[in-house]
């Protein structure tokens, strides 16, 4: 088994929806584009990733949304060293189809009160649903490590909530631990690094917005 030395997760650059949530009533979520600032963030992330990967090969998986595709293009990775696949299981949490601006804001407030993991959007997914499909992807990813020539680097270009849930699944975090963490900023990374103990460790923690309830931690 050729396990990669690092698995890097990257949140897409700033999108139209990050600066104006009313856009969801006019443009499908999957079709939202990067803003000029989002392109800049993605290009900056690319500078760091090219330095990190150097001459090593990379196996990249990209969410099928326009903003993640645009983010990947802005990274300017060497196509001779990067194997790229679109991966639908890394998509954003589904909120439903066309979204009513007032309803979205009301549901976001309800989700904050109910909990991001269990709350289900009326026509979409819960965080638990995303966790399940991320878990299915992780099983596929792990099988890919069976190849003797697997690249030493894996890159996932995805979304903030999906990043947290991927790490939750990999690191075996509790729901309470997940709920205490904030999404990374646009264009920000987290990396799982293979240590000398033959285990993966997160390069830096997610920011906390609250202390998890110890009564809910196993």
Cβ atoms of 60 and 82 closer than 8 Å: yes
204: tokens are 């830096």
Indicate which residue of 14, 16, 92, 179 is catalytic: 92
CA distance 45 to 148: 29
- Known catalytic membership, residue 92: yes
CA distance 52 to 86: 22
Q: Read off φ and ψ for residue 22, nearest 5 degrees.
A: -75, -15
CA distance 75 to 56: 15
144: tokens are 């890919």
Three-state DSSP at 96 gives: coil
Taking the CA atoms of 167, 202, 8 and 193 in sequence, report the sign of the dihedral they define.
negative
- Known catalytic membership, residue 116: no
CA distance 119 to 111: 6
45: tokens are 């992330």
120: tokens are 């289900």
Q: Which residues are known catalytic residues?
A: 12, 92
């Amino acid at each position: 088994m050729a396990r990669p030395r690092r698995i890097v997760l990257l949140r897409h650059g700033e999108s139209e929806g990050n600066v104006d949530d009313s856009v969801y009533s006019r443009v499908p979520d999957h079709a939202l584009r990067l803003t000029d600032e989002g392109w800049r963030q993605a290009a900056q992330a690319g500078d760091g990733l090219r330095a990190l990967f150097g001459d090593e090969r990379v196996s990249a998986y990209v969410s099928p949304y326009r903003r993640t595709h645009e983010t990947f293009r802005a990274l300017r990775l060497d196509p001779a060293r990067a194997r790229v696949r679109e991966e639908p299981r890394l998509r954003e949490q589904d909120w439903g189809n066309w979204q009513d601006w007032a309803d979205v804001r009301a549901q976001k407030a309800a989700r904050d009160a109910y909990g991001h993991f269990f709350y289900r959007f009326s026509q979409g997914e819960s965080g638990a649903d995303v966790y399940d499909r991320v878990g299915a992807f992780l099983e596929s990813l792990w099988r890919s490590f069976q190849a003797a020539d697997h690249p030493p680097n894996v890159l996932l270009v995805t979304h903030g909530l999906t990043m947290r849930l991927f790490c939750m699944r990999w690191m075996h975090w509790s729901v309470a631990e997940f709920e205490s963490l904030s999404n990374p900023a646009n264009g920000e990374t987290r990396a799982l690094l293979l240590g000398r103990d033959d285990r993966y460790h997160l390069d830096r923690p997610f920011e906390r917005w609250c202390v998890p309830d110890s009564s809910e931690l196993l």
